Amino acid sequence: PSPQAANMADIRWTSKAAGGVGAYTYEFHLMEGKEVRVVHSGANSYWQWKPDKKGIFRVRALVRDSLGNTSDSGWSPEYVIMPELVAETITADRPTPQAANMADIRWTSKAAGGVGAYTYEFHLLKGEEVLKVQSDIFPYWDWKPDTQGRYRVRALVRDSLGNTADSGWSSEYEIVPELVAETAAADKPSPQAANMTSIVWSVKATGGMGPYNYEFHSMKAREDRLVQSGALPYLEWKPDSEGLYRVKAIVRDSLDNTSDSGWSSEYEIVPELVAEAATPDKPSPQAANMAGIRWTLKAAGGAGPLTYEFHIMKGTEDRIVQEDAIPYWDWKPDETGAFRVKAVVRDSLGNTAESGWSPEYEIRKFIKSSTVAVLPVENLSGTKAPAKNIGQLIKTELKRAGFNIIDNDILEEFMLKHRIRYTGAIDLKTAEAFKKEIGVDAVLITSIELYSDLYPPKISLISRLTSTGSRPEIMWMDSAGLSGDDSPGLLGLGLIENVEEILLNAVRSLADRLDADMWGAEKMAGLPGVRKRKQPALVLSVTDSMEKPLHDKKMIDEAPEKPAFAPKIYYRSPVLSPEMKYRVAIMPFLNKSDRRNAGDIMMLHFTEQLREIMNYDVIEPGIVRNNLLGFRIIMNEGVSFENAGFIFSTLETDADLILSGTVLDYQDNVSIQGTPKVDFSVIVIEKKSREVVWSSKSYRTGNEDVIFFDKGQINVAHALASGMARGVTEMLLAE
């Protein structure tokens, strides 16, 4: 009867005929929609039909006798063929493996096609044994495995006509042994003393599916507390209060099955030696060589007099700094970094208690409360410039940023007392006096490279912050070279015509960069041009422009052979190693150009660029200058091997390298026409070998990279010289 399922039934259509003359011929027709096909023609009065697709069909027969007379049976009623009964691959709602007695697994079979309601018969295969586990109208079977092994499951689906579809056997499904946790056991007998010993509680677990997570709980006065959770099958327990305890472990496998070890028997903890956290008398951060910090520890309990052992940690290095009967340690930090402090207290019985590490305590070269002296601005521009006004503007902007600037009267009195006239650098003696006499922690030294109020106005400033005291060093250095036509924009709307405006932009930019560079990366975001010191040469940054990083030198083999602004000609000795750190003395360059002070300007550019790379420790130029003046070293033709050797031997602070050079051309265009030009050579002499380990020649104009409409134009020699100096420094140690 109709309906039947495609590919699942043979249907015989029969026609009975009577009358006529002679033998009959039967021609069967099949209609699907409006399409009529002849499906059988012959002497048989029946047609065996095996429908292979769903649809609604009609059948008729034309009967002919031997005389050609024809009779039509007429179309049958509609005969429905349903889709073939299909059972998809059976699936489980949990992935294999699972653990015995610990999971309910639902196996589901999806069926389609066929006629009427389905019956689902689930079979379970283990080894060669097949078990019929369920026969029902439900398309799923909930399995609760209680035995480990490897299994397969299938489903046979039957429709109301008895048609059957087999899902096929599933992939192997593994059931592992049940997860079992034994009672937790301690490695030391009860009782023990709080904070005087470490008690290891361990638990053994078997079965389940690893890795395991062990969750240790302790109970005191019916309070259940989670004390550790992780992959370790043991708990190193350091009880911090007296009482009666119990311990248990809950083991969880990777399938999230759990097993509870049950509570241990009572474990007694007697009164303990207690040490509170070590606390400083000054908040973090503080400055190196500027403050004494007292760390104090409070302890109670224990037996007899106590001794206190103070530890300090920087990175992963733990050092004992004091062991005494006094409960405090006076710390005078002389290096920068992030530190932690703890104390170990011992009583007369040898029991110990640790305070635990303090939060990180930061020691910086410089902090906001540090006192800064802003030295009068040095004018290297060769032209008249409002140096005093610029100096006052720098102080205003630094105060706006929150810096502690020393009063002008105090600074002027100090400079008069020490007869300080040159303000472009600081020597050792002056640095010590600044610190000792008026409590100045750092000096800001600023030089005017270019000042022009002609249109378009231009300003170039170079600033550095140098610490005072017995070991002055450059803590920060940056520069700004701006022109009123740097960003003309559409229809010249971005042009700046007022020199005061561009001066304020330059000074504010330097103040903001100093603020960001000294107080952390969070302030650096959004400040264009802010640079951190680069890692050693193996991770130098190679650039395709003055601001835009191209590659990290971790990938140096894939980067261009030369950085932008690379020297035209150069020699590098294999003596220079990218794995070494060098202390560098930079000499004023010999000036053979028409630009006044060009030698000092190039020295400052190389000072700024070299200190950006952590392979180099650049000596404060004032120390070098004072050495040259003190020994009356005159270098009319630049640095020679003879005076280099003398400089190495007499310099107040050791140097590994001397860098110097010659400026042949240094031109700034101070009008709307023209282009800057810079031409210089560099040599580097190494102390141990007494040989020239680097020699190069660089020359460039500001319009070399212009593409169209002044795109790529460099408007000030400052930017050109800075990029060219960077081009040399990045190649000094390149492999």
Q: How far apart are CA 649 and CA 646, in angstroms?
A: 5
Same domain, yes or no: 223 and 284:
no
Same domain, yes or no: 589 and 729:
yes
Residue 547 falls inside a structural domain: no
pLDDT of residue 513 exceeding 50, the answer is: yes
Q: How far apart are CA 549 and CA 544, in angstroms?
A: 7
Q: How far apart are CA 442 and CA 288, in angstroms?
A: 12
Which is more confident, 707 or 225? 225
Express each pLDDT in 2-48 by its tens digit: 999 999 989 999 999 999 999 999 999 999 999 999 999 999 999 99
Q: Tell me the residue range of the domain where 282 lies.
A: 274-364
Q: How far apart are CA 1 and CA 11, in angstroms?
A: 9
Which of the listed residues 121, 152, 176 is the one where a domain comes to its end?
A: 176
Q: How many CB atoms lie within 10 A of CB 74?
A: 8
Q: Residue 545: pLDDT band by 50, 70, 90 thresholds?
A: very low
Environment class of residue 313 by beta-carbon count within 10 Å: exposed (0-12), middle (13-18) or buried (19+)? Answer: middle
Same domain, yes or no: 125 and 219:
no
Same domain, yes or no: 264 and 357:
no
pLDDT of residue 543 exceeding 50, the answer is: no
Query: Residue 379 is part of a domain; what is its CATH number?
Result: 3.40.50.10610
Q: How far apart are CA 615 and CA 537, in angstroms?
A: 6
Q: Mind spelling out the 3-state secondary structure of 565-577?
A: CCCCEEEECCCCC
Among 115-119, 554-558, 581-585, the least confident range:
554-558
Q: How far apart are CA 566 and CA 162, in angstroms?
A: 86
Same domain, yes or no: 227 and 316:
no
pLDDT of residue 564 exceeding 80, the answer is: no
466 neighbors 445 (Cβ within 8 angstroms): yes
pLDDT of residue 522 exceeding 50, the answer is: no
Among 200-209, 315-324, 606-615, the least confident range:
606-615
φ, ψ (nearest 5 deg) of residue 194? -60, 140
The pLDDT score that the predictor gives to residue 523 is 41
The pLDDT score that the predictor gives to residue 552 is 35
Which of the listed residues 364, 399, 421 is the one where a domain comes to its end?
A: 364
Same domain, yes or no: 184 and 315:
no
Same domain, yes or no: 728 and 579:
yes
Which is more confident, 484 or 681? 681
Residue 659 falls inside a structural domain: yes
Count how many residues are written for the chain.
Answer: 735
Pairing between strand 590-591 and 657-667? Answer: parallel
Query: Residue 151 is part of a domain; what is its CATH number?
Result: 2.60.40.10
The pLDDT score that the predictor gives to residue 635 is 64
Q: Residue 532: pLDDT band by 50, 70, 90 thresholds?
A: very low
Residue 418 falls inside a structural domain: yes
Residue 214 falls inside a structural domain: yes
- Short-list 552, 606, 616, CA closest to 727: 606
- Using N-to-C axis directions, what is the helix angle for 428-438 and 408-417, rounded to 10°? 130
Q: How far apart are CA 617 and CA 610, in angstroms?
A: 8
DSSP β-bridge partners for residue 248 = 217
Same domain, yes or no: 95 and 72:
no
Give the residue-averaged pLDDT of 494-510.
86
611 neighbors 533 (Cβ within 8 angstroms): yes
DSSP code at position 326: S
Express each pLDDT in 269-307 by its tens digit: 877 788 998 999 999 888 887 668 999 999 887 766 899
Same domain, yes or no: 247 and 339:
no
pLDDT of residue 361 exceeding 80, the answer is: yes
Residue 524 falls inside a structural domain: no
The pLDDT score that the predictor gives to residue 484 is 77
Same domain, yes or no: 605 and 716:
yes
pLDDT of residue 565 exceeding 70, the answer is: yes
DSSP code at position 118: -
0.75 exceeded by pTM: no
DSSP β-bridge partners for residue 371 = 404
Give the residue-averaged pLDDT of 431-457.
91
pLDDT of residue 542 exceeding 70, the answer is: no
pLDDT of residue 73 exceeding 50, the answer is: yes
Q: How far apart are CA 645 and CA 639, in angstroms?
A: 10
Residue 539 falls inside a structural domain: no
The pLDDT score that the predictor gives to residue 198 is 87
Residue 8 falls inside a structural domain: yes
Give the residue-averaged pLDDT of 356-366.
89
Q: How far apart are CA 609 and CA 723, in angstroms?
A: 9
311 neighbors 319 (Cβ within 8 angstroms): yes
Same domain, yes or no: 505 and 650:
no
Give the residue-averaged pLDDT of 63-78.
95
663 neighbors 590 (Cβ within 8 angstroms): yes
Express each pLDDT in 625-648 by its tens digit: 888 786 666 666 666 666 666 677
Which of the listed residues 208, 242, 270 is the one where a domain comes to its end?
A: 270
The pLDDT score that the predictor gives to residue 539 is 30
φ, ψ (nearest 5 deg) of residue 450? -145, 135
Same domain, yes or no: 324 and 431:
no
Task: Give percent of the chain with pLDDT exceeding 90.
Answer: 64
Q: How many domains does the chain contain in total? A: 6
Residue 112 falls inside a structural domain: yes
pLDDT of residue 200 exceeding 90, the answer is: yes
